[in-house]
Amino acid sequence: MNQDEILTKITEIMRETFNSPTLELTPDMTAKDIKGWDSMKNIWLIVAIEEAFGVKLSTSEVISIESVTDYINLIQQKQS
Amino acid sequence: MKEWNIQSCPWLPATPDDFRERCRAIGETDDDSTLEMYRLAQFALSNNQLNSLARTFLAQQKKTQTSQLLKPFRLGLVSNATTGLFVEALVGSCLRFGIALTVVEAHFGQVMQEALDPDSPINKEELDGVLLALDYRGINFKDVLSDVANNGGYEPSLADDIKEYIDLLIAKFSQNGSRVVIVQTIPQPTDALFGSYDARLVSSIQRQITAFNSYLATLPQESGTTVLDVAKLANRVGLDSWHDPIQWNFAKLPFSQKLVPLYGDYLARLLGAIRGKSRKCLVLDLDNTLWGGVIGDDGLEGIMLDQGNAQGEAFLAIQRTALNLRNRGIVLAVCSKNDEKNGRLPFRKHPDMILKEEHIAVFLANWHDKASNLEEIARVLNIGLDSLVFLDDNPAERAQVREALPQVAVPELPDDPAYYPRALLAGGYFESIAYTPDDKQRAEQYQANSQRTQLQSSSRNIDEFLQSLAMKAQVSSFNQLGRSRIVQLINKTNQFNLTTRRYTEAQVIAMERDDTVFTLQVRLQDRFGDNGMISVVICRTTGTVWDIDIWLMSCRVLKRRVEEFVLEQLITEAKKRGITVLRGVWIPSSRNDLVKDHYPNLNFKPLKEENGATYWQLAVKDYTPTNPPIVME
């Protein structure tokens, strides 16, 4: 999957997870920029992302994620 | 072939692509959309989809009254782990079983404080039940090495302080039995300190958890407890998938959150069972469902049903499953596109058939569409469409039935019939919270009923028919023997139920001991068999007046003049006790229109009408005997 495809899919997942149907993601966005993205909801988000992309994130990876770009890079790296 | 794995709830059909649009459409209308939400709940929804549906439902609930399809349940949730993440999803899962769930969460990690503080959310709120979801990591199990000196060979026993802990929690949360307390069994952890020796070491966590779960199983029903067997669920999933150490470390999440849809379904079906929503009848297709091949084309010798042949064994297994269900009281019916003669042929002639004609209460083999036939089956058995489960190998037939009759449960079946029993039973359609001798006879009773229907059509008139039934009744006040069935009737009966008041087992026990409460249970037999307990009445005494708190009857004995017989008994008992007036009320629900005129039909005089409820009374001296054709034993 290329970065754009991953971004589109993550957008879809975040819209559902944060109940915000019109959410538009840009790669530089962080948890601060998205309403409802707290540490708890982050777990739920990770579960959805793991299911959608068929990957599993480690503890240190979960901690290291700060922005949408981080997610995209991680997923791309794990899928390759 | 795709692997059949319980984690993804494979008995549920895949969520359609327009799921989100359908949720949005519900949000935009003010009409009652309960049925549409119920339809959406039947799919294999993901975490986020369950949340979306739950939010759609909660928004609707604020706007309009949601319809009769759903029964409310207010659940308190107490845990020593994190549950807040999946509470919303549970609301979505519960819609699948016709339950409108409201969750009240206890303060995080304060199980005992929550129980002891009378002002805690769980104690203060009006609740129907409390779920006690304990994680082993928060229970004070004794040290693994404490008993090493005298280990081995002993029966595992649960430490007294843990027993006391559980007993106290149940006592407090049940509020003297007025609420159900649902206690979860505890899954084993993944790891063993010694290896296989953990299975023998008395103080291993493994044996302590086993003892804990056995203790839950032995809690008396009278304590108002029900068990949610999470340990079994975790075993089925596999403990390595169930426990996610990363999620536990981040947020004390008690199990992998990708399993929320499965867990939610397990909880929802239990709440459904508590609310009397469990299904009663399994309807079976024939060709390629009960045997391999097509009887009309392949003939008796051509169909696959033989022992020792892997394909034949698969069909024998699903027949055995169906027969086991019938033996526990689930009614069986057949609905198949076939000539009737062909459809019946294997039942009559095939030596390997496990199911026989006598096991099938309604046999419909014809060329009508299946939805119409299912409606006919529900009509003949006098049960709702929401009591039916339909098993059919043909995806097109399944889709047609789901579309036409959303209330009928239709499990998805995998391509390989070897998995049919698993797919059928995994759906939890027949979930139970108790099992009474009456339940066991249920299937036979429904069948006897269709025989009665035949006698009725051959009788010249209704009186002659009732006389020929030779009905005999036994009447007594509530007692321990009848108690489970009484509680079941109180909580399940919808149609012939004047007040639809629900009571827990503990409340029923309290009434048995209360001198101001008069209770009556009625059993009925006739020449076709035992109908079991069919009517329950509770009267509360004020001076010389009896207020009829509950009057209900099983619909299986409608139009048999049983209510006249019951009134006759009430009058007799009232006279013995110096009661002069019986007062009754009809409180309308969405399901009890049937008994709107119950009291006027029995010559009660109108008193008043209030909020749609009608009040009636009968002076004992004004009672005129009507001599119903039922003999008292």
Distance (Å, whole) CA B188 – CA B205: 8
B154, pLDDT greater than 60? no
Mean pLDDT in residue range A5-11: 93
CB contact under 8 A, B250 and A43: yes
Distance CA B537, CA B558 (A): 16
pLDDT at A39: 83
- Concatenated DSSP letters of B143-182: PTTTTGGG-SSSPP---HHHHHHHHHHHHHHHTTTTSEEE
Which residue of chain A comes nearest to B46, CA vs CA?
A48
User: In which order are the strands placed within the sheet that holds B129-133?
Assistant: B99-105, B71-79, B129-133, B180-184, B225-228
Residues B571 and B608 both lie in one domain? yes
- Rounded CA separation B570/B500 (Å): 20
pLDDT of residue B407: 95
Q: Average pLDDT, whole number, for chain B?
A: 91
Set of chain B residues whose Cβ sits within 8 Å of the Cβ of A10: none
pLDDT-derived band at B67 (thresholds 50, 70, 90) equals: low
Cβ-based neighbour number of residue B215 at 10 Å = 17
In chain B, DSSP finds a helix count (H) and a strand count (E) of 24, 17
Q: Do A51 and B251 lie within an 8 Å CB cutoff?
A: no
First to last CA, chain A: 9
Domain endpoint, select from B371, B400, B426? B426
Question: Hey, is the C-beta of A77 within 8 angstroms of any chain B C-beta?
Answer: no
Phi-psi region at B238: left, alpha or beta (left = phi > 0; alpha = psi -120 to 50): left
Per-residue tokens: B591: 């399901």
Residue B413 to residue B416: CA distance in whole angstroms: 8
pLDDT band of B298, cuts 50, 70, 90:
very high
B614 pLDDT more than 70: yes
Given B51, B52, B251, which is nearest A43 (Cβ)? B251
**Tokens at B460, concatenated:** 């010249």
A80 interfaces chain B, CB cutoff of 8 Å: no
Gap between the Cα atoms of B474 and B533, Å rounded: 9
pLDDT-derived band at B148, boundaries 50, 70, 90? low
Mean pLDDT of B556-560: 84
CATH number of A3-18+30-79: 1.10.1200
Averaged pLDDT for residues B482-506? 91
The yes-or-no verdict on residue B156 having pLDDT over 70 is no
Mutation site, B48, B91, B260, interface A, largest A CB count within 10 A? B48
**Stronger pLDDT, B307 or B234, i.e. the higher one:** B234
- In this prediction, residues A39-65 reach a mean pLDDT of 91
Tokens of B205: 């966590």
Q: Identify the domain boundary among B244, B274, B304.
A: B274
Residues B624 and B527 in one domain: yes
DSSP string, B307-351: TTSHHHHHHHHHHHHHHHHHHTT-EEEEEEES-HHHHHHHHHH-T
First to last CA, chain B: 60
End position of a domain, from candidates B28, B50, B69: B69
Cβ proximity of B121 and B76 under 8 Å? yes
Among B176-185, B222-231, B455-464, B574-583, top mean pLDDT goes to B574-583
Domains of chain A, by residue range, sit at: 3-18+30-79
B267 & B297 share domain: no
Q: Which of B147-161, B268-282, B323-337, B420-434 has the lowest mean pLDDT?
A: B147-161
B370 and B483 share a domain?
no
**Both B384 and B455 in a single domain?**
no
* Residue B56 DSSP symbol: H
Minimum CA–CA partner of B256 in chain A: A47
**pLDDT, position B147:** 62
Q: What is the mean pLDDT of chain A?
A: 90
Reported confidence tier of residue B599, pLDDT bands at 50, 70, 90 = very high
Q: Assess whether pLDDT exceeds 70 at residue B150.
A: no
Long-range CB pairs of B337-345, under 8 A, 24+ apart, other chains included: B337/B365, B337/B366, B337/B367, B337/B370, B338/B286, B338/B287, B338/B295, B338/B296, B338/B365, B338/B366, B339/B296, B339/B365, B340/B365, B340/B366, B342/B295, B342/B296, B343/B286, B343/B295, B345/B295, B345/B300
Residues B488 and B504 both lie in one domain: yes
| B362: containing domain | 281-426
Q: How many CB pairs under 8 A join A and B?
A: 44
| CATH number of the domain encompassing residue B185 | 3.40.50.1110
- How do beta strands B581-586 and B471-476 pair? unpaired
Domain assignment present for residue B141? The answer is yes
CATH for B459: 3.40.630.30
What distance in Å separates the CA atoms of residue B324 and residue B504, rounded to the nearest whole number? 29
Quick one: pLDDT at residue B66? 61
Q: Pick the residue of A14, A43, A65 with the most B CBs within 10 A to test the interface with B by mutation.
A: A43
Residues on B contacting A at a C-beta cutoff of 8 Å? 20, 24, 46-49, 51-52, 55, 82, 84-85, 246-247, 249-251, 253, 256-258
Percent of chain A with pLDDT over 70: 100
Coil vs helix vs strand at B394: coil
Residues B210 and B287 in one domain: no
**Residues B244 and B317 grouped into a single domain:** no
SS3 B631: strand
User: Which chain B positions have a beta carbon within 8 Å of A41's beta carbon?
Assistant: 85
Total domains, chain B = 4
Q: For chain B, what is the radius of gyration of the CA atoms?
A: 27
Paired tokens of B227: 């068990």
Q: Are residues B608 and B498 in the same domain?
A: yes
Domain-embedded: residue B186: yes
Residue B5 falls inside a structural domain: no
The region of weakest confidence among B259-273, B381-395, B448-462, B619-633 is B448-462
Please check the confidence at residue B211 and state whether its pLDDT lies above 80.
Answer: yes
Are B246 and B392 in a shared domain?
no
> Nearest by CB to A43, which of B46, B48, B247?
B247
The closest alpha carbon to B153, from B192, B199, B200, belongs to: B200
pLDDT interval class at A79 (50, 70, 90):
confident
Question: Would the CB atoms of B47 and A58 count as touching at under 8 Å?
Answer: no
B20, B249, B258 member nearest A47 (Cβ): B258
The CATH number of the domain holding residue B409 is 3.40.50.1000
Residue B468 has pLDDT above 90, yes or no: no
Inter-chain touch A58–B257, beta carbons under 8 Å: no
Answer whether residue B299 is part of any domain. Answer: yes
Pick the more confident residue, B460 or B139: B139
Cα distances (angstroms) measured from residue B219 to each of B186, B212, B398, B506, B574: 15, 11, 41, 13, 38
B249/A51 touch (CB, cutoff 8 Å), yes or no: no
d(CA B58, CA B37): 11
Q: Which one of B48, B250, B257 has the shortest CB-CB distance to A16?
A: B48
**Type and span of the H or E element at B485:** helix B483-492
Identify whether B354 is part of a domain.
yes
**Residue of A19, A40, A57 with shortest CB distance to B85:** A40
Identify whether residues B400 and B451 lie together within a single domain. no
The pLDDT of residue B177 is 75
Could you tell me how many residues make up chain A?
80
pLDDT of res. B500? 93
B32 vs B81, more confident = B81
Tell whether B4 is covered by a domain. Answer: no
> Given B49, B52, B257, which is nearest A43 (Cβ)?
B257
> Which residues in chain B have their CB less than 8 angstroms from residue A51's CB?
46, 258
Residues B108, B161 contacting (CB under 8 angstroms)? no
pLDDT of residue B608: 94
- Write the DSSP symbol of residue B629: S
From A18-27, A43-52, B155-164, the region with the lowest mean pLDDT: B155-164
Nearest to B431 by CA among B169, B204, B584, B232: B232
Lowest mean pLDDT among B138-147, B153-162, B201-210: B153-162
At residue B454, the pLDDT reads 65
* Mean pLDDT computed over A63-68: 90
**What ipTM, to 2 d.p.?**
0.93
Give the integer Cα–Cα distance in Å for B277 and B97: 7
**pLDDT for the residue numbered B149:** 56
On whether both B242 and B259 belong to a single domain, the answer is yes
Structure-model confidence comparison of residues B457 and B570, the more confident one: B570
Residue B145 has pLDDT above 80, yes or no: no
Which residues have CB under 8 Å from A12's CB, separation 6+? none
| pLDDT 10s digits, B571-580 | 999 999 999 9
Cα angle for residues B249, B253, B259 (degrees, 5° grid): 125
Q: How many residues does chain B have?
A: 633
Specify if B431 maps to a domain: no
Q: Which chain B residue has its CA at the smallest distance from A52's CA?
A: B46
Query: Quick check: B425 pLDDT over 80?
Result: yes
